[in-house]
Amino acid sequence: MSTQKVAIVTGAARGIGAATARRLAEDGMAVAVLDLEAAACADVVDAITAAGGRAIAVGCDVADEDAVAAAVDQVTAELGAPTVLVNNAGVLRDNLLFKMSVPDWDTVMAVHLRGAFLMSRACQRHMLDAGWGRIVNLSSTSALGNRGQANYSAAKAGLQGFTKTLAVELGKFGVTVNAVAPGFVETDMTRATAERIGVPFDAFLDAMAQETAVKLAGQPDDIANAVSFFADERARYVSGQVLYVAGGPKA
């Protein structure tokens, strides 16, 4: 019987999620590449399998309880019981408070918070059965407050409280729960932000890099490396932590 660990990475069709899926595969895990549409995950799955890894594409709306249950069942049937979960799925619906609609608030809360709750609840039983597990939630420096992101900031701050509570509840079962909070990272999502505010992406990258201590914009692999640490056997004594991967100190 294989002892290969099975990981689920949500929002893994591109950006940070895709980099994380590839990195966990490099670490020797079988990876379920999960996103809203399975077809969008094909390139990531192909890259992992071409390198000799095991991966499947799974389509799932993480805010849908039945879809989450079906997705976790599919992963268990095709790869094995998942004991590593990376809650990365996220969306932006930025606006100033007086312009923010209720649907835009609800959508962000549903994907980030409800999604992380549903996925964690569905996977934790497999972790408890194994007596070992890793949950890594993707927060953000926006949790500290960011203009035009009342919904996103609240959701990312909520994930930090969620992380710390699950760490307390699940620790005695061999499960650690941590969060990675990226700063500015070069992704399709941040490219869309630049377009929304009418700034050329290269100029946007340079401006954001200059705000960091290291004068660099983050790359998806920078975040994937931090997730890899939390998902590793050697991180057994680290739980309930929020690691800011942001090119400098954060509160």
Radius of gyration of the chain (CA): 17
Taking the CA of residue 14 as centre, how many other CA atoms within 13 Å lie in the half-sphere pointing to its CB? Answer: 13
Q: Which of the following is catalytic: 105, 117, 152, 204?
A: 152
Task: Indicate the range of 136-145, 198-207, 233-242 predicted with least confidence.
Answer: 198-207
pLDDT band at residue 2, thresholds of 50, 70 and 90? low
User: What local confidence, expressed as pLDDT, does residue 189 receive?
Assistant: 84
Residue 227: both structure tokens together: 């997730």
Quickly count: other Cβ atoms within 10 Å of residue 77's Cβ: 9
Contact (Cβ atoms closer than 8 angstroms) between residue 59 and residue 32:
no
pLDDT at 106: 98
Angle between helix 115-130 and helix 150-170 axes, rounded to 10 deg: 20
Strand partners, 6: 30
* Known active-site residue 152: yes
End-to-end CA distance of the chain: 45
DSSP state of 27: T
CA distances from 112 to 50, 76, 77, 118, 194 (A): 31, 23, 26, 10, 22
Query: Is the pLDDT score of 10 beyond 70?
Result: yes
Q: Which CATH superfamily is domain 6-183+220-243 in?
A: NAD(P)-binding Rossmann-like Domain (3.40.50.720)
Helix (H/G/I), strand (E/B), else coil: 243: strand
| Residues 132, 83 contacting (CB under 8 angstroms) | yes
97-118 pLDDT tens trace: 999 999 999 999 999 999 999 9
Residue range 3-9: average pLDDT? 97
At residue 196 the predicted structure's pLDDT band, cuts being 50, 70 and 90, is confident
Q: Kindly report the backbone phi and psi dihedral angles of residue 160, in degrees, each rounded to the nearest multiple of 5, phi listed first.
A: -70, -40
**Local structure of 154: helix, strand or coil:** helix
| Global pTM exceeds 0.75 | yes
Q: Where are the domains of the chain?
A: 6-183+220-243, 184-217
pLDDT, tens digit (0-9, with 9 covering 90-100), for 119-178 = 999 999 999 999 999 999 999 999 999 999 999 999 999 999 999 999 999 999 999 999
